[in-house]
Structure 1
Amino acid sequence: MARDPTSSSPYASDTPYLNNMTTTPFKLDEGYSEDTRSLSDVDAAMRTDPPKSDAAEHDSARVTLPGWILSLPENERSDFAFEILRSLRTASIASIVQRLNSRLHLDPVLHLPPEITFQIFSYLGPETLLRASTLSKSWRGRTLDSQLWKCMFGAEGWTANIRAIRQFEEQEKANRSAMKERKSRVRGGDADLERMHTKKKLRERPLADQDTDSAGDWAEQHGVVEADETDEMQDIAYEGESPSEARINDLARRIEARPQFAIDDAISPPPADMLFPPLRPSLILSSFGDPMVNWQYLYKQKRRLEDNWSSGRYVNFQLPHPSHPYEQHKECVYTIQHSAKYVVSGSRDKTIRIWDLETQRLVVAPLTGHDASVLCLQFDERPEHDIVVSGGSDCHVIVWRFSTGQMIKKLERAHNESVLNLRFDDRYLVTCSKDKTIKVWSRRELVPSDQDYPVASGSGARFPSYIVRNPDESLTKQPNIKPLPAFSLLMVLEGHTAAVNAIQTYDDQIVSASGDRTVKVWAIRNGTCLKTIPGHSKGIACVQFDGRRIVTGSSDETVRIFDRASGAEVACLRGHANLVRTVQAQFGDMPGNEEELEAEARAVDQTYYEARARGSLREMSREERRARNAGSRNPQDLFALGAKLPPGGGGSRWGRIVSGSYDESIIIWKKAADGKWTIAKRLLQSEAVANAGGRRRGGGGGGGGGHTPARLNPQLQQQMAQLTAASQQAAAQNQAGANTPATTAAQIHQVTQHVQQLAQQVQAQALQQPPAAGAQGAAAQAAVAGPAAAHAPLPGGAQNHQQNAHHQQGGNNGHHHHHHHHGNNNNNNHHGNHVPLVGGTANPTGSNSRVFKLQFDARRIICCSQDPTIVGWDFANGDQEIVAASRFFGEGL
């Protein structure tokens, strides 16, 4: 007898075949804030309305099965159901399958809260996320969530300029508030008229080039694929529209696709059948709420920028702009620093110049105040700081107002010899000198109770008499102690035995590099020397420190990476053919990966011990030993054990090192798949000048508007040839050990004097000839004069080995002898006494573009050299979308 299908059943509440969606629809936890930045219109719709198929199943009548069917084993019930289905028409079977679809295919995006799917999607790669965004509108809304892509951005090891992002968002918010306020003051009739004119202008406005498939078409057919495995996100094109135009252009596309929409739709949520997020997102998320930077857009442009670095796509530029050559330095440029907007440079012409990167023009008149060459500088353009600090061969350190160029303070005779490098942070200014010392100065007024007040207990440090030794006791006895004014000397660090060529600061540590071939780590609070790291075979010219790694460049023509914690050398990069004068590295560390890096280093050590136990390590030749340790994990190539960092120094796949040398080249180093550092690109400063529209210096007028140097008269040519032969003979005798160190030094000094005299004669002759066009005439004359007139001071100590001055085979003794020989020079003649030997490593017929300093960030490399023209490589390559996004990318060190 058939049972009434509406009657109750003892199995109705717990029978296993009932759909669990027949219960109360999913409700979001009431504690979750609706103000989340991840919430999209798609999410809002999903939170309020259950899927239609589930609602239909919920409303359908339930049929209670007979008890004898429910008592059958599951396999028999399965066979029974199959036979029942076979007896039905195809249309009935299809209807049943459709009703069962919610049980067969459960969409997690529809049923899980955004917080859970956010965590799930965060484990996916960017290409997978983009493919997932094509599955449905609900998946698209979750996979293209801006905050999810912010996490993806950080997971790549990239950094962002959060300060710039916040300022940009606040400015956009203020602009829109002002716009709404202006509209609210328009009278009703005028508002209607304005709306009509606005719609007409939007329709007449030419839209950016885009595919024929509109966003609405995509929503209907779901057929546009955003990325594939080969193009890596290249298939998503973004409109080249400015942030202020993005919202208007998006509205114009809507009007073109659906003319029935009124202009007011722009401020309401998009219709359910519109694609959200849009197919072509812009820099600003503006569909609802306050304007925010779109992190998916930033990720996309950052990947495109990295691809330009890898492929060597860039445009060159120069400072000054080729149309304004009179703004350039009059002599070679020794030091630069740049930010996203500005470049500050210091030159042998004793001036400092502040440049606008966008216009390539001077911002203020040249800063004058140094009595000799400007060798080092640093600036901070932020309004709360607004300073430039410079040091030079005159032994002075000068503090300037960045915005005006006004001199704020001059620390006269800050050192006894040339100030070779300086660094400052919010608390301290640190300087180093050819006089072998490092000095720490205060940035602000200090009293003994301040946390940044020095602790006068460090070994290896000297403290001025006015530094309170025991602050607590002194404050009790003398409560009215006068505070130390800003830029007071706090301590002098002593320990290096040669010139201190470079320093870096990080948190409470100072790292210094010297011509004595060592790197030292100091505690900035008490001056204690925490570690001394040997490693280079010749003097060290430059250093960078990021808290974990110390990267150095040396006169031994190598770039080396040391582990700060253990002092172990973890990589040695060989590729330059002369002194490595400048280096910068960006490793792209993942946040909080210290333990991971150390575990990786321990695993590499273990492979070495296992290989040694097996006896598989063989004795290497001298050449093989020199070529190893560029980051390889092969036990045969390891140079040090016990490091806290793996070979190569760790970091992400986007890490890079850029180094500049006296071989007149810049090398961009990248990690290969096996972990080794390899040369990705070699750049030439002389070529960059020509590509940027400037003039090459030196030997001949090869492309790009080069010039021909003035010709020497026969007598001067003969003298130059004689001096070249004499210097080569002296160098050969020195290499053969034929002379004593004193004799060799005397010969070198004699040849140097001759070179200086010859340079003066050449300059006098050049001045009698017609000048070159514009300010490049000075550059041409400097090139004619050869390296004697256009050569920078080599880093103290580092140059001694490079310029045929390594007098004794013992190495160290020769180094110190030469340094002492130059240590007594008058500072005003510092450069004249560091002229390279003609016929030595100098190149009097070449381009004379020895690289002195470079700096790079996410977008650019900027370099200065013997050429007064400053050049740069812009890897945005003229792409306006990358240019717009790159302002928010983190800066290099």
Structure 2
Amino acid sequence: MDSTFGSRPFSAASSRGSSSIAADRAPTSSSPAPPLPPSSTTPIAARAPELSPPTPAPSPQPTARAYPSLEASSSSWRPKGTPLESDLALLRSGVNALSRRAREQLLQDLLADTAPIDLSPLYPLIVPRLQRDFLRTLPLELALHVLSFVDEAKTLARASAVSRHWHALLLDESTWRRMCWKSGFAPPEKPAPPPPVPVPADATVRYLSDTDDRSSSAASSSSAPASSSAGSAPSGSSTHVSPTTAPPQPHRPFSYRSHFKLAYLSEQNWVRGPGTLLSTQMSVDQGVVTSMAFDNEWIVVGMDTSKVHIFEAGLGTYVRTLAGHELGVWCLTLAGAVVVSGGSDRNVRVWDVATGRCLHVLPGHTSTVRCLRVLDARPVAVSGSRDGSIRVWDIERGLALRLLSGHRKSVRAIEVCGNKIVSGSYDTTARLWNVDTGECLHVFRGHIGEIYAVAFDGARVITGSLDSTVRVWNAETGDFLALLQGHTLLVGQMQLDPYSDLLVTAGSDGTVMVYSLTTYEALHRIKAHSQSVTSLQFDERFILSGGNDGRLKLWDTKTGAYLRDLSDPCDTVWRALVRDDKLVSLSRRDDRILMDVKTFREAAPDS
């Protein structure tokens, strides 16, 4: 058979291959090697060329002529045992034709017969097919109902990032309205103004000294002017500084989602801090802060130096000083556009807070006016004095309405609810009065020490005494309900929340007690301060306490756990009040009285 491999056949001289050539060159052991030929003078070019081993030919390839059947199937070669596409299609159609139960059995058998190493590549293919967006498969109402069981804000925030569908579901206002209700973030009755622009943290503003007679710049500047007359600013100063107002903003519909976000972030600012310091005001006098009140427009501070200082509530900017009392101011209250103050000069004064003008001077008490309250939504003030009397005043017309007599010693505390008031006295008794008739409805006896604090919600009267106990009484019948113990010294601070039935008290032992008025049990006993507690306030989230040890602390109402200090340590904390996530604190540091105004409210986005 004539077959050709390569481009040309080998010549006859080289057809023997490399083995025969090597045999011709190598001498054998049986015959002696031939003698070397004599040297020749023949030129190298004339010598016969030496034979070299041939280059191997390419491996033989099948050809169409030798293997005609490979020409058609050369493109579809596959390893031995691999099924053809037609076979796979036939197998797939057969599997699909099986019943569901038969397919499950077949898959179980295949899995049992397959090595784990062969199954691992199938894992990323199987898992995505098993995943299902259950919220997408549910009707909208059911999907929102499922989300209503989520109580954690962080969980909802993470859920909104799962997919576009989940994000769209969590834009629903009903979900966030429910979250606001669960978290206690009630929507405001009126939209809150944005927080004012803060001043640098190290900015300190000096306000009026009671002994400073030097003239200063206008109230809008950093320094406060000296007062030349009662309740008015001197020449060259502004007579009125309006509260900070925000520029007009385009109206946007109220959003529970946005409200919850801002309220939640504000709560985190309280817990983790540090908050935004709006201003620090400084007094150079050496007096003592005796009282403080503030609302959305004004901050009012009473001093034992007979002065009443007014600041605007937006940034805490000094406005003016009300001068008129001859001796120290020991109590005051802020009622809308007027301030009512009382002091050691035995007079009650009514001031126009916007102009600083004294509207009325109400004489009548024969000793220091120690406590003051104004009835809700009525121009009626009630004052208690060390002379043992309680007087009722019409602060709109400047008239004395009636005298409530009964206590035999100093009246130390007063609380009002509706047209009824409760008074606590150093004679160890508390009394319930009808303001409109002047009638004493009940006398509450039981303490063996002077009463320093009272609380009243219309249904219960609560008293705190020098005997270290707290007593609860029924305001309707006058019956004694419970004795609450836990303090070891005078109980001088208390606050009652009728909605949560919680009572928080504090005293000279530095302890803060939290009681349940449902069971009359002590829920928490907090060793808050190393000295007397001078300031106490709480809500459903936090307890704020300030003390003579110079610390201002924040506590968790539900657990009683310490959260953090709200200010740097100082000599003493006189007063601290919170309103709408704004904290105003008065303290003594390095023989100076400082007022810090700080906000914890998160700023609303611009858009």
After TM superposition, the score normalised by the length of structure 2 is 0.55
Give the SS at the match of 1:522.
Answer: strand
Letter in 2 for 1:438: I
| Among candidates 532, 543, 551, match of residue 656 of structure 1 | 543
User: 5+ residue gaps in structure 2?
Assistant: 1-96, 111-118, 196-245, 504-508, 525-537
Alpha-carbon displacement from aligned partner over 1:405-450 (angstroms, at most 9, x marks no partner): 011222223x232211111132132211112222333455xxxxxx
1:112 has 2:160 as partner: no
Counterpart Cα distance in 1 of 2:324 and 2:588: 22
Counterpart Cα distance in 1 of 2:546 and 2:471: 13
Alignment partner, residue 574 of structure 1:
487
Alignment partner, residue 810 of structure 1:
none
Counterpart Cα distance in 1 of 2:461 and 2:554: 16
| Among candidates 113, 124, 138, match of residue 151 of structure 2 | 124
1:419 has 2:419 as partner: no
1:498 has 2:385 as partner: no
Letter in 2 for 1:137: R
Counterpart Cα distance in 2 of 1:400 and 1:318: 25
Counterpart Cα distance in 2 of 1:573 and 1:646: 12
Alignment partner, residue 341 of structure 2:
390
Give the SS at the match of 2:166.
Answer: helix
Report if aligned partners of 2:315, 2:597 keep a CA contact under 8 Å in 1.
no
Alignment partner, residue 242 of structure 2:
none
User: 5+ residue gaps in structure 1?
Assistant: 1-68, 70-75, 170-242, 246-283, 445-485, 599-625, 634-642, 690-848, 886-893
Letter in 2 for 1:409: H
Q: How does 1:565-644 map to 2 (within 5 A)?
A: 567-569=480-482, 571-572=484-485, 574=487, 583=493, 585=495, 630=513, 644=518
Counterpart Cα distance in 1 of 2:486 and 2:584: 20
Alignment partner, residue 332 of structure 2:
377
* Higher helix content, 1 or 2: 1
Give the SS at the match of 2:570.
Answer: helix
Report if aligned partners of 1:586, 1:655 keep a CA contact under 8 Å in 2.
no
Alignment CA distance shift 1:564-1:666 (3 Å): farther
| Among candidates 367, 378, 403, match of residue 322 of structure 2 | 367
Give the SS at the match of 1:113.
Answer: helix
Alignment CA distance shift 1:244-1:408 (3 Å): closer
Alignment CA distance shift 1:399-1:154 (3 Å): farther
Alignment partner, residue 304 of structure 2:
348
Alignment partner, residue 688 of structure 1:
570
1:860 has 2:583 as partner: yes
Counterpart Cα distance in 1 of 2:275 and 2:483: 31
Report if aligned partners of 1:853, 1:865 keep a CA contact under 8 Å in 2.
no
Q: Which shifted more, 389-398 or 120-129?
A: 120-129
Alignment partner, residue 603 of structure 2:
884
Alignment partner, residue 37 of structure 2:
none
Letter in 2 for 1:658: S
Alpha-carbon displacement from aligned partner over 1:775-795 (angstroms, at most 9, x marks no partner): xxxxxxxxxxxxxxxxxxxxx
Counterpart Cα distance in 1 of 2:414 and 2:125: 77
Letter in 2 for 1:346: G
Letter in 2 for 1:369: G
Alignment CA distance shift 1:142-1:391 (3 Å): farther
1:134 has 2:161 as partner: yes
Report if aligned partners of 1:535, 1:569 keep a CA contact under 8 Å in 2.
no
Paired residues in the alignment total 425
| Among candidates 320, 344, 357, match of residue 281 of structure 2 | 320
Alpha-carbon displacement from aligned partner over 1:745-771 (angstroms, at most 9, x marks no partner): xxxxxxxxxxxxxxxxxxxxxxxxxxx
Report if aligned partners of 1:395, 1:412 keep a CA contact under 8 Å in 2.
yes
Report if aligned partners of 1:389, 1:399 keep a CA contact under 8 Å in 2.
yes
Alignment CA distance shift 1:358-1:628 (3 Å): closer
Counterpart Cα distance in 2 of 1:395 and 1:547: 30
Counterpart Cα distance in 1 of 2:510 and 2:311: 41
Alignment partner, residue 197 of structure 1:
none
1:305 has 2:274 as partner: no
What is the CA-CA distance between 1:376 and the residue it aligns to? Answer: 1.0
Q: Which has the larger radius of gyration?
A: 2
Percent identity over the alignment is: 23
Alignment CA distance shift 1:371-1:96 (3 Å): closer
What is the CA-CA distance between 1:388 and the residue it aligns to? Answer: 1.0
Which structure is richer in relative contact order (CA contacts within 8 A, separation 6 or more)? 1
Give the SS at the match of 1:130.
Answer: helix
| Among candidates 279, 296, 307, match of residue 260 of structure 2 | 296
What is the CA-CA distance between 1:867 and the residue it aligns to? Answer: 9.6
Report if aligned partners of 2:316, 2:597 keep a CA contact under 8 Å in 1.
no
Alpha-carbon displacement from aligned partner over 1:486-536 (angstroms, at most 9, x marks no partner): 454443333333211121223343232221233334344444545544565
What is the CA-CA distance between 1:400 and the residue it aligns to? Answer: 0.9
Alignment CA distance shift 1:136-1:678 (3 Å): closer
* Higher strand content, 1 or 2: 2
Letter in 2 for 1:855: L
Alignment CA distance shift 1:487-1:627 (3 Å): closer
1:647 has 2:529 as partner: no
Alignment CA distance shift 1:571-1:654 (3 Å): farther
Report if aligned partners of 1:150, 1:295 keep a CA contact under 8 Å in 2.
no
Alpha-carbon displacement from aligned partner over 1:708-745 (angstroms, at most 9, x marks no partner): xxxxxxxxxxxxxxxxxxxxxxxxxxxxxxxxxxxxxx
| Among candidates 413, 419, 423, match of residue 512 of structure 1 | 423
Give the SS at the match of 1:335.
Answer: strand
Alpha-carbon displacement from aligned partner over 1:355-398 (angstroms, at most 9, x marks no partner): 2356554212x212222221111114xxxx41111111222111
The root-mean-square deviation of aligned C-alpha atoms, in Å, is 5.3
Counterpart Cα distance in 1 of 2:262 and 2:134: 33
Report if aligned partners of 1:585, 1:656 keep a CA contact under 8 Å in 2.
no
Alignment CA distance shift 1:519-1:148 (3 Å): farther
After TM superposition, the score normalised by the length of structure 1 is 0.39
Letter in 1 for 2:577: Q
Report if aligned partners of 1:570, 1:647 keep a CA contact under 8 Å in 2.
no
Alignment partner, residue 281 of structure 1:
none
Report if aligned partners of 1:855, 1:861 keep a CA contact under 8 Å in 2.
yes
Counterpart Cα distance in 2 of 1:627 and 1:864: 17
Letter in 2 for 1:863: L
Report if aligned partners of 2:332, 2:340 keep a CA contact under 8 Å in 1.
yes
